[in-house]
Chain A
Amino acid sequence: MADTIQSSPWTDDGIDPGAVLLNVDNISLSFGGVKAISDISFDVCKGEIRAIIGPNGAGKTSMLNVINGFYQPQEGTIMFRGKERRSMKPHQAVGQGIARTFQNVALFKGMSTLDNIMAGRSVMMKRNLFWQLLWHGPALNEEIEHREKVEEIIDFLEIKHIRRTPVGNLPYGLQKRVELGRALAMEPSLLLLDEPMAGMNLEEKEDMSRFVLDVNQQFGTTIALIEHDMGVVMDLSDRVVVLDYGKKIADGTPDEVRNNQDVIDAYLGVPH
C-alpha cells in the first residue's frame, strides 16, 4: 500500500531534498498596537521536520498563520518553492501546496471521517460542472480515483474503524488524527502542524509521533510543527527555532537549542 503512495507526485515540487523550501525573511506582524511577531527570519529545508517552540504567547501560531495566509504580515517577505510573496489568501496557499492542522481542531463536525478527508481532495477535482452534475463519466472516475487515495490515507493512519462515524462524536485524539488525514489528502509539499499532540495521553502522543515521522520518511513531506512537549520536539525534529515575545531567540539542532542560555532563561525565567 505504501508503495503506491510513495510513487505519487506529492513530494515532487521541484525542490531538491535539503534545499530551502520555505524562507521567512524579516517578518513583522502586529494587531493594532500589539506586536505579535517582530522581525523574524528562518528557513525550512525540503524533507526536514522543523519545530517552532516557545512559551505561551510567543507568536508561534501567528507565524503559522502568516505562512498559510490567514494573516498578512506588515513587513517582510516569504519565499516558498522559489517564489517570493508578501501576502496571499489561504486558498492560494493551499493551491501552492501548504496544508495545515489547527491547535483546536477545525473539522467538519457533522461529516464522517471519510467525508472530512475527502474534503481535502476537493482542491484537486478538475472535472467541469456539467459532468459533476450528471454524476457520470469522467467525474465519476475522478471521484473513484480520489476515493482510493483517501482510503490509503485512512489505512495509513489506522482509522478504518471510524471511517463512517461523524467526527463530532470522536474522542479528541482521534479528531486530531482525522485532521492530519485531511491535511495529508492535499498531498502537501509543506505540512504545518499546530500542536499535534496537545491534550493527548502518552499512548496517543506516541502514536501521533510515529505518524509524523512516517509521513516525513515515507512521503518525503516537509513538516513544520509547533509543540509544547519538549520530549517530543527533541525526538522528532531535525532543527528547532525558538520564539519568545515575538522575537527569535535561538535556531539550531535540538542539542544546540537545549543548551542555549537564552532558551533556558525564556522557559525557566530569570531574576530581574
Chain B
Amino acid sequence: MEFLNNVFVAPFQDMAAAPDFFMQVVWEGLVSGVLYALIALGFVLIYKSSRIFNFAQGIMVVFAALTLVGLHEMGVPALLAVPLTLGVMFLLAVAIERVVLRPLVNQPDIILFMATIGITLFLIGFGEMIFGGENKVMITEQLGIPTGSFEFEPFGGFLLIEQKDLTAVVGAGVLVLVLLLFLNRSKMGRAIRALGDDHQAALSVGISLSTIWVLVWFIAGIIALATGIVWGARAGVSFALEVIAYKALPVLMLGGLESVTGAIVGGLAIGVLEKLFEIYWGQPLLGGNTETWFAFVFALIVLLFRPQGLFGEKIIERV
C-alpha cells in the first residue's frame, strides 16, 4: 500500500507542493530535450533522403565543436571561426559524398551503415591528430552568447533560467523553423523528400543524387555545429560528447526515423520526462541515475503500441 502511494500519489503531491521546483525541473528537461531533438534531426534528415542510418552524427557534433574551438585557438576571431567551421563542414560533406557514398550507391543499407561507422573512426583519428585529444572549453563568451541568468519568483518560490540555455532554446527553435520551411517549401527540400521515397523515380524527374547528398550532409553538419556549441557550452568540448548521439536513438524510436516533427516532439518529450522521472520517482524510489536508461525503456514501451514510432510513416503496401 505504501509502495503504491509512493509511486502514484506522493510524486504528484510533491509537484503540487513546490510548483517553482517543478517548473525548474521541466525547464532543465526542456533544455536537454532541445539538444536531443537537434541530434535526432541530423539523423532524420540523412535517413529521409538516403535511407542511411548515420552512425557518424555524434562524432560530427564533436568534430564541428572541435574545429570551432581549434580555429579560435589558432587566433581566428570567434565570429569568423563560425563561417569557417561551416566551410569545413561543407568540405566534409563533399568529401563524404565523393569518397564514401558515391562508390556505394545501390549497395544494401547495412553496407552504408558500416561505411558511416568508418567515417566515425576516421573523424575521431583525424580530429585528434589536428586538434589534440584533451578537453577544451567552448568559446561561449567570444561568440556573444550571454552567460548570466534570469531569476523569477513564481508562486513565491525561486526559478533560475540561465541565459545561455535560453539562447540555445531560441536558437534551436529558429534553426528548426528555417529547416522546416526549407524542406516543405523549396525545390531542394522537395527533392530531398522525393529521394527518400524512391531513388529511381527521383532520378527520372531530374533530381541529382550527388547534389542532394552533399546538401543533406551539409545541413547535418550545420545542425552538428549548433548542437556542438550548445552542448559544449554546458559540458565542455571533448570526444566524450560523441556518446550524446546515442541519446538520440530512443528519440528516433519514439518519433519515427522519417519524421522531422517526430524528432522535435520526441526529443522534447524524452528530455522532460526523463528529468521528471529522475527527480520524482528515480531518486526517492530507485536510487537515482535513471536518466541513463529511462529513455530507452520509455521508447520500447511506445514501440509495443506503435511499431512505426509516434510520427513514423506507416508503410503502405498493396498486395
Which A positions have Cβ atoms within 8 angstroms of B? 68, 70, 89-91, 94-95, 99-100, 102, 106-111, 119-120, 122-123, 125, 129, 132-133, 135, 139, 166, 168-171, 182-183, 186
CB neighbours of B317 from chain A (8 A): 168
A109-B198, A132-B186 are known contacts. Are A91 and B316 too (CB-CB below 8 A)?
no
B188 within 8 A of A: yes
A and B contact pairs by CB, cutoff 8 A, 11 listed:
A91-B206, A100-B204, A107-B198, A107-B201, A108-B198, A122-B194, A132-B186, A133-B185, A171-B318, A183-B204, A186-B205
User: In the complex the two chains form, is B185's CB within 8 Å of A70's CB?
Assistant: no
User: In the complex the two chains form, is A94's CB within 8 Å of B186's CB?
Assistant: no
CB neighbours of B313 from chain A (8 A): 110
User: In the complex the two chains form, is B187's CB within 8 Å of A108's CB?
Assistant: no
User: In the complex the two chains form, is B194's CB within 8 Å of A108's CB?
Assistant: yes
Total interface residues on B, CB under 8 Å, equals 26
User: In the complex the two chains form, is B191's CB within 8 Å of A122's CB?
Assistant: yes
User: In the complex the two chains form, is A169's CB within 8 Å of B186's CB?
Assistant: no
How far does the alpha carbon of A107 sit from the alpha carbon of B205 in the complex, in Å?
10
CB neighbours of A106 from chain B (8 A): 198, 200-201, 204
The listed residue with most B CB atoms (<10 A of its CB), out of A89, A110, A166, is A110
Cβ 8 A contact of B190, one of A119, A135, A169: A119
How far does the alpha carbon of A197 sit from the alpha carbon of B190 in the complex, in Å?
30
Cβ 8 A contact of B197, one of A109, A129, A132, A139: A109
CB neighbours of B316 from chain A (8 A): 109-110, 166, 168-169
Closest to A183 in B: B204
Main secondary structure on chain B at its contact with chain A? helix
CB neighbours of B207 from chain A (8 A): 91, 122
User: In the complex the two chains form, is B194's CB within 8 Å of A133's CB?
Assistant: no
How far does the alpha carbon of A266 sit from the alpha carbon of B208 in the complex, in Å?
39
B181 within 8 A of A: yes
The listed residue with most B CB atoms (<10 A of its CB), out of A99, A106, A107, A166, is A106
B104 within 8 A of A: no
Cβ 8 A contact of B206, one of A94, A132, A171: A94
How far does the alpha carbon of A94 sit from the alpha carbon of B205 in the complex, in Å?
7
CB neighbours of A102 from chain B (8 A): 200-201, 204
Closest to B186 in A: A132
CB neighbours of B16 from chain A (8 A): none
Closest to A168 in B: B316
How far does the alpha carbon of A183 sit from the alpha carbon of B209 in the complex, in Å?
19
